Amino acid sequence: MTTANLTGLVPDDVIRGLAHGDSSILESVVGLRLHNLQASGLDPRSHALIKVAALIAMDAPPASYVWQISTALEQGVTADDLVGVLIAVAPQVGAPRIIAAAGEIAFALGIALDEPERQYSE
């Protein structure tokens, strides 16, 4: 990898950008392209939800969630939609991955996990 294709960024900036999920740097380094959306034939919202489901299934690293969740929110995905994805994939991926993903999704949404849980009535 050279930094020439990253608009003159120094390696430290590239590493920081990757660690923070900077989409422009990720696209340059990893080769992610918007044409993936067009090639899929899906609407942007569905595409974003499916990508979140894939992150859950593969037990993706935290930075991946931050980047993908922010992209999903830009496409109109809501917190309720993300809960729906967690519920939908739970039977296939199991409780440990759902618990891990819920924490990462909460972080990406800015939800504090140290607040007391609300009691839900049936």
Per-residue pLDDT tens for 13-40?
888 887 887 877 777 765 555 667 777 8
pLDDT at 5 over 60: no
- The C-alpha atoms of residue 21 and residue 64 are separated, in whole angstroms, by 7
pLDDT tens for 76-88 read 999 999 999 999 9
Residues 6+ apart with CB under 8 A from 49: 72, 77, 81, 85
DSSP code for 117: P
- What is the reported pLDDT for 35? 65
Cβ 18 vs Cβ 29: under 8 Å: yes
Q: What is the pTM of this model?
A: 0.71
DSSP 3-state helix, strand, coil percentages of the chain (rounded to 5)?
70, 0, 30
- What is the reported pLDDT for 14? 80
pLDDT at 120 over 70: no
Alpha-helical regions (H) of 31-78 = 35-40, 44-57, 62-74
Collapse the DSSP code of 76 into the 3-class scheme (helix H, G, I; strand E, B; otherwise coil) and give the result: coil
pLDDT tens for 61-78 read 988 899 899 989 999 999
